[in-house]
A and B are shown apart, each in its own frame.
Chain A
Amino acid sequence: MNILTLLIFSPLLFGLVILLTPSKWRAGFKYIALLATLVQFGMSVFIYCHFKTGPGFGGVNQESQFQFVQKLHWINLDLGPIGKMQINYVVGIDGLSIALLMMTSLVLVIAALASWEIKSNLKGYFVLFLILDMAVIGVFCALDFFLFYIFYELMLLPLYFLIGMWGGARREFAAIKFFLYTLFGSVFMLLVMVGLYLSVKDPATGNHTFNMVQMMNPANYDGGAVFSLGAHQTIFGFPARTVGFLVLFVAFAIKVPVVPLHTWLPDAHVEAPTPVSIILAGILLKVGGYGIIRVAIGIFPEVASAHAYWLGLFGVISIIYGALNALAQKDLKRMIAYSSVSHMGFVLLGIASLTTEGISGAIFQMVSHGFLATMLFFLAGIIYNRVHDRGINHFRGLAAIMPKYTAFVMIAFFASLGLPGFSAFIGEAFSLVGAFKSNAVNGELPYWMAACASLGILLGASYFLWTMQRMFFGKVNLKGGAVWQTALSDLNLREKITLVPLALVVLAIGLMPSLVFSKINDSVLALVQFLHLK
């Protein structure tokens, strides 16, 4: 049994167990879900430790260099004269996915621990949770576009119900907004996927294929096919490959989210229960960034290179615009949601630079933000569970009544605003280094972009510290008075167990960035080399 396949589908087994367990034992469901995520985390650690590095393991466009690969025939239809329809089950990882995979499996453990707050309809909740778990892991492992697409769409379904059924007051609205927003992007992605399928032939069998790695090799395209590099086909008068890139980019940009395609995020976050917020911010946004690197840029590198300026510009806009919005927020969760928009802007900027520093920085920033957003949303959830309020102005002087909680909030805030020693600093700094260098290396981005983006770091300090000062410092003054004061107890054991590993991880990868970089370096180098070959 291939360990990646096991990693992807083991949650389903546990989900099945929960489904078959009678509801009167519902108190045990959360432990089963936790066990599922822990097993998965254990497997990820195993994969991480056995992940080989070196020039021979770059991956990206070399299928033979991927690791833990499993390739199975899945759907084979003989279509007579048209040829054979060939859809394979291909999973495998390289440096672009290993760090995100590792991060995802840890975040899922945290999300399972955060699910303790769910009180209603536990069976449904945990089954959906585990389906979602399978889908997000699958996305990072799939190498076949068809498989990727299935996992990608499969994420939406559980999320829709998780937000719509276990969310806050306006949950239905938020759920449908989120669902339609993301579906809007992925529907067009389907068309591009089919177009690519019809353009690419597996050199081994001569059949059309959905294999993403093969889509990266221009030699595999049919001479006159719609997405063929040499054919210069057009769609509605625009070059076909530009349209294809644009469609894929928009689909993933909605996920990232890139301003102005981000407005689903604040609503979804505010309404979603804590564990779903964690998965949304911690993992789902990274699917967007990962998709841009692996799929959009990987398959259409020359288009990405030609339009990197616009990618970078949208990155800078996201950074500044998200930060300014965060500054205006009065709801803690919404503030964190906008800060995510700002931080993910660095990812886009780093990617757009198409330099090793920039792309490594972007991946690092994704990993770092995965942990930090998890921590931030978990912390916001703690206070919401206690008093069912998140208004920043409704609290004051929390440091005096919840000192341990405040300590973790400080760690999370300062780590997020890029204090060196914590992970976000490395990610942001090297995204900026890459963005600045790119003009000299490949001429993609103008110098001023990095300079403007650095303003986001300043604004980040402003909104986090302002929130800190308003909510946690000063004399105790709560909107709910004495009732709140008794309700606002300090962290309990479960919360500490959840927060300590997160704090340690962001510190560890901040102090030893090689934990991430050593695994991703070869692939990033391979990717950059591949981009420049075109």
Chain B
Amino acid sequence: MEQFLPPADSLTINITLIAVLLPLAAAVINCILPGKKNKLAGWISTSAILTSAILSALVFSLIWNAHPVHAFIHWFTIGTTELNAGILLNNLSVLMLLLVNLVALPVHLYSIAYMGHDDGFKRYFTYLSFFCFSMLALVVADNLVTLYIFWELVGFSSYLLIGFWFTRDKAVMANKKAFIMNRIGDIGLLMTIIIIYSVFHTFDIDKLFGKTSIVESVLLLNRAGWLSPNENNWIVPGISYHLPIIWQYIAFAGIFLAVAAKSAQFPLHTWLPDAMEGPTSISALIHAATMVAAGVFLLARVYPLFNPVELTILAIVGCFTAFMAATIALAQNDLKRILAYSTISQLGYMVMAMGVGAYSSSLFHLVTHAFFKCLLFLVAGVVIHQVAHIRDDNQLAIDPQNIQFMGGLRKKLPFTFIMAIIGGVALAGLPFTSGFLSKDGILTQTFAWSAGKNPVFELVPVFSVLTTLLTAFYITRMIVKVFFGELRIAPVVSTLKINIDDGGWLYKLPMLLLATGCFFSLFSANPISAGHSWFLSGFLSGSAGEGSYTFLIPVSVTIASLLVIYYAWVIYSNRANPFPQRGILFDIACREWYFDTIYERVIIKPILFIGRACFWTDRRVIDGFIVLFAKAAILFSRIAAFIDRRIIDGFIDLLVKLVRGIGNLVRLFQGGRVQYYLYSMLMAIAAIFILKIFF
């Protein structure tokens, strides 16, 4: 089954294979390593990911803007269907390969310090390496079945890491929720794969969605969908047009659910804030930069599948999610929850960008977001650790993640403060940052998309600009509350011992590495325009935006953002909060739009009730019927026994009694006395005569 590959390409494939398998090897080695807190584990995983990062940089340089490479081996045959496993390297996959490694490497380093005192140090790195393996394999998978496999394994390793501290009830509730939510997406994806397979008879991503793909050629015939031939009944050979058109939308719904689950989009986003129960380094890698981006990656992989209606749905849902999550982030006080909602909001942007056709901008934002959000999480990790130190040193009963207790940390943690500013500015999308470049592209293309459409669609760009302003506001609020002013617990506790610092190089170096990715220079020579970025040229579809928007929008959005930031800085640094901490709007934002409450009441409780009802049915109705059957059988047998004893046996008894009675009667005649014999003889003769006379 080995197909022909030029030697150079097969070398590339082998390098990729090593890059993907190294973290797995690290996970296996760590698994069998003795000792729960073996320090070696951290370095094994880190060196694996370092090597992997170097190799993937090499692969990236070989493949980027060159021809895609696809290699596979035969995996198994079921019936007559052959299943392959292989690697598909094109711009998208090598980009993700490199990105995952580049983000994972700092996080590994950081984790060595961050998790250094944890009892589960070795277990942590085993899981972490396993996650990296799954994620890397996911991005290079060449067919839908293997894609699905790693898709789930990524969710599984996320489950392990969210519930890393498994004695904490909140953590294990959160990982269960995360896995089940992701399962909803998984079955969606599975259904879509099955539908695609039954139409196109292949799982191969390259054949399906590549340059000269089946789906593309089908769509050439009929723009509205790949399920039915067009009016002229031109059909593409080898494709089964047997499904009703509704199944195209079901396939879309499946993909959408998968994306919504992994990338935390409405309505399946609620697991991500809860997933913050995991170690912060994990939140940085998995729940900000890589795994949650897998949904957007999937959209990019199967992009040709969608028709305009479906893309519009994506745009609307993405925009709604971005806006909703941003409003929630305004009212949260938990440092990590703010960042989690910020992640949801930014992922909303990416999905929306996919929906409006800004394919390359969406991926661009995925990359830039990975850097700055990961950086912000690492900052949060340092802050939380240090506040926890203050708490332990002074035996306070405070939540180290609550920003209400913080403040003034910029003096104690100067390096971390600078990093937070860099990350925050990139998130807010101010010029000279990478966030500006990517967000700018998305916003302009959203405006271009809505132009000429029904005015209702204008809401999408309007709300996305609004979200940008909200983003600027909440990130300013967060940074001001954490780093500016004075430590808020200081006035309350008189003898406060504060003995904290930025931490060693294992903390600083990773943040520094990520911070370099937050500036424009990595992506484009021009600080305020991504038009000529090497990045966007790597993807064919999607343009950098229409003429009239490219200037107006970035300038006005930047000015508005700066005003919002200034306003937020003024109100939060002066503690003159003009917003009432009550009212419907505050409640909605603070309670996260009541999604959890609604799901609990509308879905979870009814399902558990149905479960109990089923069990009741099982016991009472089905088994009840069986028992009734048994009882009826016993009743019948009793009746039979009664008949047997009283009627059948009774008849026999009667017979016996009759015989005995007759016998007794007859015995009387056999007395042995001659007179009686004579007498009875006379009686007999008399009887005969009487009978003779009368008859």
Contact = CB atoms under 8 A, between A and B. Distances in A.
Interface in B169-206: 169, 171-173, 176, 179-180, 183-184, 186-187, 190-191, 194-195, 197-198
Given A357-B78, A454-B191, A321 B242 contact: no
A455 B254 CA distance: 12
B443 to A, nearest CB: 37
Interface in B15-58: none
Nearest to A184: B629
Interface stretch (B359-367, B460-468, B563-571, B609-617): B609-617
A260 interface: yes
Contacts of A465: 176, 179-180
Interface in A103-162: none
Nearest to A439: B242
B76 A517 contact: yes
Interface secondary structure of B, over-half rule: helix
A420 interface: yes
A391 interface: no
A398 to B, nearest CB: 10
B191 A324 contact: no
Max chain B C-beta neighbours (<10 A), residue from A181, A356, A473 = A473
A327 interface: yes
A327 B191 contact: no
Contacts of A421: 149, 153
A10 interface: no
Counting chain A CB atoms within 10 Å of each CB, the highest count among B148, B183, B242, B612 belongs to B183
B75 interface: yes
A450 B194 contact: yes
Interface stretch (B222-230, B618-626, B645-653, B661-669): B618-626
A70 interface: no
A514 interface: yes
A419 B615 contact: no
Contact of B190 (A454, A462, A466): A454
Contacts of A321: 614
A455 B242 CA distance: 24
Contact of A430 (B78, B195, B612, B623): B78
Nearest to B240: A440
A457 interface: yes
Contact of B243 (A181, A447, A517): A447
Q: Which range holds the interface residue count of chain B?
A: 35 or more
Contacts of B440: none
Contacts of B612: 328
A429 interface: yes
A458 B184 contact: yes
Interface in B444-459: none
Nearest to B79: A356
B167 interface: yes
Interface of B: 75-81, 145, 148-150, 152-153, 156, 163, 166-169, 171-173, 176, 179-180, 183-184, 186-187, 190-191, 194-195, 197-198, 240, 242-243, 247, 250, 607-608, 610-612, 614-615, 618, 622-623, 626, 630
27 contacts: A260-B622, A325-B611, A325-B614, A326-B611, A328-B608, A356-B79, A356-B81, A419-B156, A420-B148, A430-B78, A439-B242, A447-B243, A450-B191, A454-B190, A455-B187, A457-B186, A457-B187, A461-B179, A462-B180, A462-B183, A462-B607, A468-B176, A472-B166, A473-B166, A517-B76, A517-B78, A525-B80
The 4 closest A-B pairs by CB, nearest first: A356-B79, A420-B149, A327-B611, A473-B172
Given A324-B611, A512-B76, A524-B79, 17 more contacts: A259-B622, A327-B608, A420-B149, A420-B153, A425-B152, A433-B198, A436-B194, A439-B242, A440-B243, A447-B247, A458-B180, A462-B180, A465-B180, A469-B173, A517-B77, A517-B78, A528-B79
